Amino acid sequence: MKILTLLLTLLVFSVQAEEYEAVSVEVKAQKLIGDAYYVPGMSGAATEFEGFISNAGFVVTTEGVVVFDALGTPSLANAMLGEIRKVTDQPIKLVIVSHYHADHIYGLQVFKNEGAQIWAPKGTWDYLDSETAETLLDSRRNALFPWVNDETHLVEPDRIIDKDTEFSLGEHRFLISYFGKVHSDGDMSLLSATDQTLYSGDIIFEGRIPFVGDADIIKWAKTLDRVRNMQVEYFVPGHGSASNQPKQTMDLTYRYLNFLLDKLGKAVEEMDQFEETYDTIDWSEFENQPAFDAANRKNAYAVYLYLERVLD
C-alpha cells in the first residue's frame, strides 16, 4: 500500500513538473537589496532566447510575494516561480503588470494558478479587446512552440489601476506610479519603498535601443523626466541590467527618444519626406547599440508619422 501511495505521489509530481515545457535558457533570480529581487532577461528580439528577452522581479514580504511582470512564456514564468521558491515558501499574492505586451504577460497564467491577484494599468482592455492580442498569440504559438502553445492563454486583470496607488503587504510599502499611454496602451511602474527599488517596465530599455511602436513619444519623454527625479537605490528597467546608478541606466532611452523627437520633429515642421530625412540623420551615437539594425528605422518612421499627426 505504501509503495502504491509513493508511486501515485511520484506520478502526480511528474504530471505537475511536465505541465510547462522546460526551458534551456538560464532563468536566475538576483538579489538587489533587502527583499527585492529581479530576473534578468537576455538582449534580443521578441522570439530569441526562447522568448526570454524581458525582465521581471519580485519582493518578498512576511505576508506574501509581490511579483512584477511575468515574462514572455508560461515556461519562463514557471522557471521564475522555481527561483522564488528557492527564496521563500510565502504565497504569491500579487502580480503588478507594467503593461500588456506579450513579452511581459504570457507567463501570467502560472502566477494566477498560484492564487495571485493581477493588477494592470488602464488601457489593458484596449489591448485585450484588440485583434492584435489574439493574432500575436497565434503567431507566438508557432514562433515560440513548445513554450507557447495551445494551452497558453491571455489572462485578464483582477484590478485596473488608473492613478498612483499606494499599498502595503506585510512590513513592506509600495507605490504604483501610473503613467497612462506611454510605451503601450497603458504603463505603470512599481516602487518598493521599503527597499528603495524601482521596477520601471518598458519606459526604460537599458543596453539596447527601445521599441517605439505606436507609443505616445512626447508623453514618454515627459514621463522619463518624472522618473529620473525619483530617488531610489536600485533601478530595474524592462530590458537590460538592473543598476544602483538609476540615471545612468535611464540615459540611453532618454537620449534616444529626445534625439528622435528633435530630428524628426524638425523634418515634419519643414515638411521633409521621411526617406531623405532618415538618410541624412547622423545615427552614429546609437548605431552600435543592440537592436539598432532591427528597430531603428521602424522606430523613426513611427515617430515621423506620430509627429505628423500631433503637429498638424
Task: HSE, CB side, 13 Å, CA atoms: give it for residue 272.
Answer: 17
User: What is the β-pairing status of strands 64-68 and 197-205?
Assistant: unpaired
> Does some domain include residue 284?
no
Mean pLDDT of 55-80: 98
% the chain with pLDDT above 70: 94
Of all helices (H) and strands (E), which one includes residue 295? Answer: helix 292-310
* Containing structural domain, residue 141: 18-253
Mean pLDDT of 275-279: 96
Mean pLDDT of 230-235: 92
> Does some domain include residue 193?
yes
What pLDDT score was predicted for residue 23? 98
pLDDT at 89 over 80: yes
Where does the pLDDT of residue 3 fall: very low under 50, low under 70, confident under 90, or very high at 90 and above? low
pLDDT at 2 over 80: no
pLDDT at 174 over 50: yes
What pLDDT score was predicted for residue 207? 86
What does the mean pLDDT of the chain come to?
A: 93
Q: What is the pLDDT of residues 97-113, one digit of tens each?
A: 999 999 999 999 999 99
Mean pLDDT of 296-304: 97
Q: What is the pLDDT of residues 4-34, one digit of tens each?
A: 444 444 444 444 444 899 999 999 999 999 9
% the chain with pLDDT above 90: 86
> Does some domain include residue 310?
no
Strands (E), the chain: 30-33, 36-39, 56-61, 64-68, 92-96, 117-121, 159-161, 165-169, 172-180, 187-192, 197-205, 234-239
> Does some domain include residue 4?
no
Mean pLDDT of 67-96: 98
17 vs 233 pLDDT, higher one: 233
Q: Which of 2-6, 172-176, 214-218, 262-266 has the lowest mean pLDDT?
A: 2-6
Contact between residue 49 and residue 42 where contact means Cβ atoms under 8 Å apart: yes
Q: Left if phi > 0, otherwise alpha if psi is -120 to 50, otherwise beta: which for 166?
A: beta
What pLDDT score was predicted for residue 228? 86
44 vs 210 pLDDT, higher one: 210
In angstroms, the CA 57 to CA 279 distance is 40
286 vs 1 pLDDT, higher one: 286
Count of structural domains, the chain: 1
> Does some domain include residue 68?
yes
Q: What is the pLDDT of residues 249-274, one digit of tens each?
A: 899 999 999 999 999 999 999 999 99
CATH code of the domain covering residue 60: 3.60.15.10
**Backbone dihedral angles phi then psi of residue 272, each to the nearest 5 degrees:** -80, 150
What pLDDT score was predicted for residue 247? 85
In angstroms, the CA 115 to CA 98 distance is 19
> Does some domain include residue 274?
no
> Does some domain include residue 31?
yes
What pLDDT score was predicted for residue 248? 86
User: What is the β-pairing status of strands 92-96 and 64-68?
Assistant: parallel
Q: Which of 15-24, 81-90, 198-207, 226-235 has the lowest mean pLDDT?
A: 15-24
> Does some domain include residue 56?
yes
Q: What is the pLDDT of residues 124-143, one digit of tens each?
A: 999 999 999 999 999 999 99
